[in-house]
Structure 1
Amino acid sequence: MSTKPLVSLTVTIAFSLALLKTIPHPSPVVAEAADKKPPPRVIGDRRELFVDRHLVDKLKGARFQLHHPRPAELSVTLDQPWEKRFHNGICVIHDGNHFLMYYSAKNRLAVATSRDGIHWIKPRLGLVELGGDRDNNLVGTSDGRLMIGDDKPLPEIFLDRRPGVKADERFKALTLIELPGITRVIGWVSGDGYRFRKLRETPLIETSLYGAFDGTESLFWSEVEQQYVLYIRYAIKVSPPNPADPNRRSVARLSSKDFLSWTKPRPMTFGSDGLLPADHHYNNQTTPYFRAPHIYIALSNRLAQARPALTRRQAELARLLPSRDDIPDPLGALIRDCADTVMLTTRGGTHYDRLFRDALVRPGPGPENWVTRSNYTLRGLHPTGPHEMSIYVNRHNGQGSSHVRRYVFRTDGLVSVAAGFTGGEMLTRPLTFEGGQLELNYSTSAVGSIRVEVQDELGRPIPGLGLKSSVEMIGDEISGTAAWDSTTRLADWAGRAVRLRFVLRDADLYSLRFHE
């Protein structure tokens, strides 16, 4: 990260950080005593994923299972003369019937487009003149200039989904002006995502927070909070000082009702780590999940600072190319650390939940994936088929083979509640719902199954909706419907506090939703 002469925010903490413990599996899966009953979770007809402990009260023989995406095809490679091998994709935006991928082309903002999120082209925008030629895919201003000099941090682009937003302001961008002791943020707007104009000359945001905006930011309109939310990177000085790792990259949050007036940055906390995360969160990539927008998914880029995976000899034998030539030891800088992608979640506020410390996307085979700043996931998690969703990951950073690759998950398939052949159970917290159908996203083996029991808030099976009446669910469905062999109507319990008991055998449960 760059070293900014800003006001210092110092957090002192010991480095003896315990590993996050997994959720305990108590032997009896029963409701708590009436005098300790928690308030019910009001879920209405919202879809709930199992990416945090929000709904889960107890597990017995079952577990939270993190699922890794499968690599798919290359999306974007660097094959144009105005591009450079030191490359990074920034974000993917789904705008109606097409996708836009913004990326760095020799530190100039470029764009690729796709109709399906799978096959990509580089449109010739004819906008920015470069070497006397406008036949390129560079994004800029309406009069054909770069939005900011190519020696400055790239603009951050966002699609404003607020109802009623002006057509010529649907896309928003942020650029930085760095002054001694302060960072200023300028706002831009566009109707097509290619041609931008300044929203106003004065800054939207001014802050003296140490290291603020020194990375890729995440901005969106939250339909749940009814405001704009912005997650930024900042730095924490650690103590005692460590010359090889003096600052910890972390995340702060700002919000605004009108995009013009913003709150001051508020530092995020990270599960049991508190304010000082155990890892460097280089780019947080926090966005609302498209099927459950009240849950924000952060596909955070975790940097293992000063932790090389390759020796100099290995890098030389692999003919790795130094990504910079303006520093004393370019090859040493290339292999000085490595990186991957981890998942965090938040439901608003200033707290990230860390259900897993495991990597979501590992570097994988090949020395090109073990160089600094590789394996960073672009901002955006999008549907690319009826049963799948995709993310996009930077690979081979700084090499001639540098590219962005698509990775594929099952729909809702980041995390499941899972049990093996011997079986397991999950009991929810008390909740209230709307509707009369229970939709489940699930998968079983040929001999596996899922059964569902509805209990009152004290844990007593509701007659006709108990385990004995539950119709065994076998198969693999994104939208399966739970059923009971009785005349009792689930709809009769809508609006009343209930618990759900899931009995699983060689099965995964990815999400649930009540509806009419």
Structure 2
Amino acid sequence: MRYLLAILSLLASPLTLLCHTAIGADDEVVHIGNRRELLVDHHLIEELDHVRLVLNRPRDEGVALKFDNPWEGPFCGYCTVIKDGDQYRAYYRGRPEAGADGDPGEVYCCAESEDGIVWTKPELELFTVRGHSKNNIILAEAAPVTHNFSPMLDTRPGVPADERYKAIGGTMTSGLIAMISADGIHWKKLRDEPVIATTMVPYKYMFDSQNLAFWSTHENKYICYFRVFEDGIRRICRSTSDDFLQWSEPVLMEYRNPTSEPPIEQLYTNQTHPYFRAPHLYVSIAARFMPGRQVLTEAQANAIDVSPQYFRDTSDAILMTSRGGKFYDRTFLGGFVRPGIGARNWVSRTNYPALNIVQTGPTEMSVYLNQDYAQPTSHLRRYSMRLDGFASAQAPHSGGELLTKPLTFTGRELAINFGTSAAGGIRVEIQDPAGNPLPGFSLDEATEQIGNEIKRVVTWKSGSDVASLSGKPVRLRFVMKDADLYAFKFDD
């Protein structure tokens, strides 16, 4: 309809339309540069014709780490996984018995891995706990920080070496306390006072969950996401900082969905972090908590030896995304990681995701979930998915099309992350903002892309060079058949 109105306007007043088109096209252009863009929301999508965005659920890879040491136990939780160079490290709370938030009996442990798949527990000898001096505890005698200690690798340019790792933790009583470390093992307070105090947050309850922070290259600031209660519902607030010490007034996060008003659900943890292959996109693998939604009978709960009162709720993991600001995109309302088969997966506070997605193979990345909570079999479980594969634009065998909004890019080639059937394929047409095919890049000149690759350079009859269009507003038209498009990126 927009294009029809434009044609009618052109017939009526050519000069007026030319001026209007130039201004309108410029106003609507999305500047992506050479960023990798994932098909997880409608940020770049103008039209979908027999193509839909689908959620791609991760594959269960089994137990990654058992919480079976005397100082760990059934109430381990609030895990963070960090990839630092060639080393992976998992941090998690050790808690053998149920207790109050911020209890002195809580400690923080770590495990290490060379590939994110096989994990070992180092013997650090930093603290003696429960009569054991050789253990994997990196923080003890530090309540209430040890309730929900959440570390980060600080990627801010020029960060001092002894602050290369940072962390926050604490409860409503203490506020969020900042910790620093040079190596991720030996920790000390950044300062005695909390960096985000209770008095800064206009809510009755806050902080009693895993709260997190990271350096955003996209916003050039530190970002903190923390839990509050708003009208009795667990919600998420966001605050920003230039120096990790002074933080802005918190803003309550809101949710949006392209077709409907998303429900306000209880989100126990948010686990928001920059996606490592596209850091302008924040990915949140959040724990959705369903209080009072009981699945197990008392007899079933007794059979799996779950701690009393920890089987009257259920939870799963959902996917949200953000590009900064006060909104999460809830394009997908369903579960991202559903509870597994068996009673152990349907107890209270299980299936809580660890913070961060990490790469665990040439074409694979992994997310980890805390499972069998409040049970003797408590553990961390790994789930894998293809790189960029949170979601995809999917076309059926009958075919469909995806048209982007006008955008500008920098680079010489267009690469796509995609998969097709043997009968399927993807062709790419590059258009001007008005929808006209550009010479050399029309659909008839496009080479059909068939296969399944993380990175395939798109070609036309003239080759792959799109440098002549770099910096100019264009649209991308993906004509697809029995295919999934996960991401695209312009490369030099």
User: Quick check: TM above 0.5?
Assistant: yes
1:476 CA drift (Å):
0.6
2:177 to 162, 171, 186: 186
The one-letter code sitting in structure 1 at the alignment partner of 2:82 is: I
Structure 1 range deviating more: 306-315 or 351-360: 306-315
Aligned-partner Cα distance in 2 for 1:478–1:175: 37
**Contact 2:413/2:465 (CA < 8 Å) preserved in 1?**
no
1:276 CA drift (Å):
9.2
Asked whether 1:74 is paired with 2:63, we answer yes
**Contact 1:269/1:277 (CA < 8 Å) preserved in 2?**
no
2:317 to 341, 348, 351: 341
2:148 to 151, 154, 175: 154
The one-letter code sitting in structure 2 at the alignment partner of 1:268 is: M
1:248 CA drift (Å):
0.6
| Partner SS for 1:369 | helix
Aligned-partner Cα distance in 2 for 1:487–1:291: 26
Give the structure 1 partner of residue 134 of structure 2: 135
| Partner SS for 1:139 | strand
1:372 CA drift (Å):
0.5
**Contact 1:387/1:410 (CA < 8 Å) preserved in 2?**
yes
**Contact 2:176/2:196 (CA < 8 Å) preserved in 1?**
yes
Asked whether 1:312 is paired with 2:298, we answer yes
1:167-226 Cα offsets, whole Å, 9 max, x none, are 1111112232544xxx52221111111111111122212134322212111210001111
2:274 to 288, 296, 309: 288
1:83 CA drift (Å):
2.0
2:206 to 193, 202, 212: 212
**Contact 1:139/1:146 (CA < 8 Å) preserved in 2?**
no
Give the structure 2 partner of residue 321 of structure 1: 305
Aligned-partner Cα distance in 1 for 2:262–2:192: 35
1:99-145 Cα offsets, whole Å, 9 max, x none, are 110112113111001111011000001001124431101112xxxx5
Pairwise mapping of residues 461-500 of structure 1 onto structure 2 (< 5 A)?
461-486=437-462, 489-500=465-476
Aligned-partner Cα distance in 2 for 1:303–1:172: 28
Pairwise mapping of residues 448-459 of structure 1 onto structure 2 (< 5 A)?
448-459=424-435
Asked whether 1:405 is paired with 2:381, we answer yes
Give the structure 2 partner of residue 62 of structure 1: 51
Inter-CA distance 163–103: structure 2 relative to 1 (3 Å threshold): same
**Contact 1:269/1:275 (CA < 8 Å) preserved in 2?**
no
Asked whether 1:199 is paired with 2:185, we answer no
Please provide the CA RMSD for this pair.
Answer: 2.1
2:252 to 267, 287, 295: 267
Aligned-partner Cα distance in 1 for 2:242–2:5: 40
1:153 CA drift (Å):
2.2
Segments of 5+ residues of structure 2 without an aligned counterpart are 7-19, 96-105
Task: Normalising by structure 1, report the TM-score.
Answer: 0.86
The one-letter code sitting in structure 1 at the alignment partner of 2:188 is: R
1:313-367 Cα offsets, whole Å, 9 max, x none, are 4334xx12232xxxxxx2xx22211000001110001111110001000002000
**Contact 1:29/1:59 (CA < 8 Å) preserved in 2?**
no
1:141-179 Cα offsets, whole Å, 9 max, x none, are xxxx532259x6232222111111111111112232544
1:439 CA drift (Å):
0.5
Task: Normalising by structure 2, report the TM-score.
Answer: 0.90
**Contact 2:285/2:320 (CA < 8 Å) preserved in 1?**
yes
Structure 1 range deviating more: 104-113 or 41-50: 104-113
Inter-CA distance 56–29: structure 2 relative to 1 (3 Å threshold): farther
Identity fraction in percent: 41
Inter-CA distance 430–123: structure 2 relative to 1 (3 Å threshold): same
Aligned-partner Cα distance in 2 for 1:368–1:131: 28
The one-letter code sitting in structure 2 at the alignment partner of 1:125 is: L
The one-letter code sitting in structure 2 at the alignment partner of 1:257 is: D
**Contact 1:87/1:105 (CA < 8 Å) preserved in 2?**
yes
Give the structure 2 partner of residue 447 of structure 1: 423
Give the structure 2 partner of residue 41 of structure 1: 30
| Partner SS for 1:195 | coil
**Contact 1:250/1:276 (CA < 8 Å) preserved in 2?**
no
1:251-305 Cα offsets, whole Å, 9 max, x none, are 0001100111111211010115999952111000000000100000000100112
Aligned-partner Cα distance in 1 for 2:72–2:330: 37
The one-letter code sitting in structure 1 at the alignment partner of 2:304 is: L
Alignment size in residue pairs = 462
**Contact 2:410/2:490 (CA < 8 Å) preserved in 1?**
yes
Inter-CA distance 275–110: structure 2 relative to 1 (3 Å threshold): farther
| Partner SS for 1:315 | helix
| Partner SS for 1:205 | coil
Give the structure 1 partner of residue 237 of structure 2: 252
Aligned-partner Cα distance in 1 for 2:286–2:383: 15
Aligned-partner Cα distance in 1 for 2:34–2:428: 18
2:404 to 407, 428, 434: 428
Segments of 5+ residues of structure 1 without an aligned counterpart are 1-27, 238-246, 324-329
Give the structure 2 partner of residue 299 of structure 1: 285
Inter-CA distance 159–304: structure 2 relative to 1 (3 Å threshold): same
Aligned-partner Cα distance in 2 for 1:32–1:383: 48
Inter-CA distance 445–488: structure 2 relative to 1 (3 Å threshold): closer
Asked whether 1:118 is paired with 2:121, we answer no
